[in-house]
C-alpha cells in the first residue's frame, strides 16, 4: 500500500491546551507522526495540489483566519499560541471583527485547539498528504494511506476544534466527487465523533457519513454524534451515528462497524474514505475503549472485504508508544 507523509506536518507543535479547568500538555504531538512512521515504514512525500481542493470544503474567511491569526495574536502582545475564550453560541452571524479574541471565537468551537504560526503549513501538508493518497486510489490502487497529522475530522467548513484545522477526510471526499465519483462514503472509527465531517456533509446526499464512537453524552465533542442525527433535507438518512458506551471492546465495536458497513453497502459508494483513529486502543491516555493492537487488523479486514476503493486517513491516537503498532496492525489487516 502506498503511504504518504510530509515532514512539513511536524512543525505544528503547540505546548499546552485548556482542558478540565486548567492548562495541560498538548496531546496531539509531532511525536505521534514519528511513532506512526516508525510503525508503518517508508512514506512518500505528497504532491502539492494547491488550495483549490481545500477551498472546495472550507470558507475563504476561515482559511484567511488560520493563516493570519497568529500574527494578529502577536500584534496584540499575547504570548504563546492563539486560543479563544468566548464563543458565539447564541447564534453565529457573519460579523467582521478586528479583535483577535472575537475572531478566534468565531472560527473555533473549543479551547483545546491552539493555533500557532506553524499550524497553517502543517495542516496544509496534512491535507496534501490526504489528496496524494486519493490520487493513488483514483489511479487504480485498491487502498492508500495518508498519515494525516494534524488530524481533521473535528474541523468544519469554518471552524477548528479537537486538534483539527483542515478536514482532510472531507477534502478527499469532495475532491473525489469533483474528480467524477458520484457517491462517496466516509467511515469514521476514531474514538470521538467526527462532528466537522458530519456538519460539512449533513445536507449532502452524495456523501454518506457513518461513525462509530464514544457516546457524546459522556465524551467529547458532546453536542454532536447522537444517534438521532441522521442528515437533513434530501440528505435525510445519509448520516449514521453509532455511539458506544465507555469500556467497549472489539465485539461491540466490530458489530457497530458491521452495521455501518451494511448501511454504506446499501448506499453503494464508488469510493470509501476511512477516518482511522487509534484512540480506541485500551491504553489511550484520553479515551475509554478497550481495543487491542491485534483488533485493528480484524476491523481492517472487515472493511477491506467490502472491496470499495479506500483512502485511509489517520485521525487521533494518543498513546504514542503503541501508536505505530496500532496503525501498522490496521494497515496489515487491510492488505491481508
Ligand atoms: C482528533 C481527535 O482525536 N481529537 C480529540 C480531541 C479531544 N479533545 C478533548 C479531550 C482533551 C483531553 N486532553 C488531555 C490532554 C492531556 N495532556
Ligand atoms: Zn479522537
* SS3 letters across the chain: CEEECCHHHHCCCCCEEEECCEEEECCCCHHHHHHHHHHHCCCECCCCCCCHHHHCCCCHHHHHHHHHHHHHHHHCCCCCCECCCCCCCCCCCCCCCCCHHHHHHHCECCCCCCECCCHHHHHHHHHHHHHHHHHHHHCCCCEEEECCCCCCCCCECCEEECCECCCHHHHHHHHHHHCCCCCEEEEECCCCCCHHHHHHCCCCCCEEEEEEEECCCCCCCCCCCCCCCCCCHHHCCCEEEEEECCCCCHHHHHHHHHHHHHHHHHHCCCEEEEEECCCCECCCCCCCCCECHHHHHHHHHHHHCCCCCEEEEECCCCCHHHHHHHHHHHHHHHHC
- Mean pLDDT for 139-160 is 98
Predicted TM-score of the model (pTM): 0.98
- Tallying the residues shown for the chain, one arrives at 336
CB atoms within 10 A of CB 92: 13
To test ligand 1's pocket by mutation, which of 13, 19, 221, 276 has the most ligand atoms within 8 angstroms of CB? 19
- Phi, psi at 250, each rounded to 5°: -60, -45
Reply yes or no on whether 58 is catalytic: no
Q: Which residue reads 458532546 in cell numbers? A: 222
CB atoms within 10 A of CB 181: 18
Whole-angstrom distance, CA of residue 190 vs CA of residue 46: 23
The pLDDT score that the predictor gives to residue 75 is 97
Check whether 34 has a pLDDT greater than 90. yes
CB atoms within 10 A of CB 23: 13
The C-alpha cell of 255 is what? 458489530
In this prediction, residue 308 has a pLDDT band, given cuts at 50, 70 and 90, of: very high
Going from the Cα of 147 to the center of ligand 1, the distance in angstroms, rounded, reads 18
Going from the Cα of 192 to the center of ligand 2, the distance in angstroms, rounded, reads 4
The pLDDT score that the predictor gives to residue 265 is 98
Closest atom of ligand 1 to CA, residue 25: 17
- Mean pLDDT for 51-65 is 98
Check whether 336 has a pLDDT greater than 90. no
Going from the Cα of 271 to the center of ligand 1, the distance in angstroms, rounded, reads 29
Residues contacting ligand 1 via CB (< 6 Å):
17, 19, 24-25, 27, 112, 151, 154, 162-164, 190, 192, 220, 277, 279, 286, 315-316
Closest CA to 147 of 54, 15, 42: 42
Q: Which of 12, 49, 58, 154 is catalytic?
A: 154
Check whether 89 has a pLDDT greater than 90. no
Asked which of 79-93, 117-131, 226-240 is least confident by mean pLDDT, the reply is 79-93
Residues 6 or more apart whose Cβ sits within 8 Å of residue 237? 230, 231
The pLDDT score that the predictor gives to residue 321 is 98
The pLDDT score that the predictor gives to residue 161 is 98
The C-alpha cell of 107 is what? 472560527
Whole-angstrom distance, CA of residue 233 vs CA of residue 217: 25
User: Could you tell me which residues are beta bridge partners of residue 272?
Assistant: 185, 310
Whether the CB-CB separation of 211 and 193 falls below 8 Å is answered with: yes
The C-alpha cell of 167 is what? 478536514
* Residue 98 burial (10 A CB sphere; 0-12, 13-18, 19+): exposed
Check whether 19 has a pLDDT greater than 90. no
The pLDDT score that the predictor gives to residue 287 is 98
Closest atom of ligand 1 to CA, residue 190: 3
In this prediction, residue 21 has a pLDDT band, given cuts at 50, 70 and 90, of: confident
Amino acid at each position: 500500500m502506498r503511504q504518504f507523509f510530509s515532514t512539513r506536518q511536524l512543525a505544528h507543535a503547540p505546548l499546552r491546551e485548556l482542558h478540565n479547568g486548567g492548562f495541560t500538555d498538548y496531546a496531539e504531538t509531532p511525536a505521534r507522526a514519528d511513532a506512526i512512521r516508525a510503525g508503518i515504514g517508508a512514506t512518500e512525500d505528497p504532491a502539492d495540489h494547491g488550495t483549490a481542493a481545500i477551498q472546495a470544503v472550507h470558507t475563504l474567511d476561515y482559511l484567511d483566519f488560520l493563516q493570519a491569526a497568529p500574527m494578529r495574536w502577536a500584534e496584540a502582545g499575547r504570548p504563546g499560541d492563539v486560543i479563544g475564550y468566548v464563543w458565539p453560541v447564541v447564534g453565529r452571524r457573519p460579523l467582521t471583527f478586528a479583535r483577535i479574541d472575537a475572531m478566534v471565537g468565531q472560527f473555533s468551537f473549543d479551547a483545546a485547539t491552539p493555533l500557532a504560526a506553524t499550524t497553517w503549513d502543517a495542516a496544509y501538508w496534512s491535507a496534501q498528504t490526504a489528496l496524494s493518497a486519493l490520487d493513488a486510489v483514483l489511479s487504480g490502487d485498491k487502498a492508500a494511506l495518508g498519515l494525516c497529522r494534524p488530524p481533521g475530522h473535528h474541523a468544519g467548513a469554518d471552524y477548528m476544534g479537537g486538534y483539527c484545522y483542515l478536514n482532510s477526510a472531507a477534502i478527499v471526499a469532495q475532491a473525489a466527487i469533483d474528480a467524477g465519483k458520484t457517491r462517496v462514503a466516509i467511515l469514521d472509527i476514531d474514538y470521538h465523533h467526527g462532528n466537522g465531517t458530519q456538519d460539512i456533509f449533513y445536507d449532502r446526499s452524495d456523501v454518506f457519513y457513518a461513525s462509530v464512537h464514544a457516546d457524546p453524552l459522556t465524551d467529547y465533542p458532546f453536542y454532536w454524534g447522537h444517534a438521532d442525527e441522521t442528515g437533513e433535507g434530501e440528505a435525510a438518512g445519509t448520516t449514521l451515528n453509532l455511539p458506544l458506551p465507555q469500556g467497549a471492546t472489539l465485539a461491540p465495536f466490530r458489530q457497530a462497524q458491521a452495521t455501518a458497513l451494511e448501511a454504506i453497502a446499501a448506499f453503494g459508494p464508488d469510493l470509501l474514505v476511512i477516518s482511522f483513529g487509534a484512540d480506541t486502543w485500551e491504553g489511550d491516555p484520553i479515551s475509554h475503549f478497550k481495543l487491542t493492537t491485534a483488533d485493528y487488523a480484524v476491523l481492517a479486514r472487515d472493511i477491506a472485504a467490502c472491496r470499495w476503493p479506500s483512502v485511509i486517513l489517520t485521525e487521533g491516537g494518543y498513546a504514542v508508544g503503541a501508536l505505530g503498532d496500532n496503525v501498522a496492525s490496521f494497515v496489515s489487516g487491510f492488505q491481508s
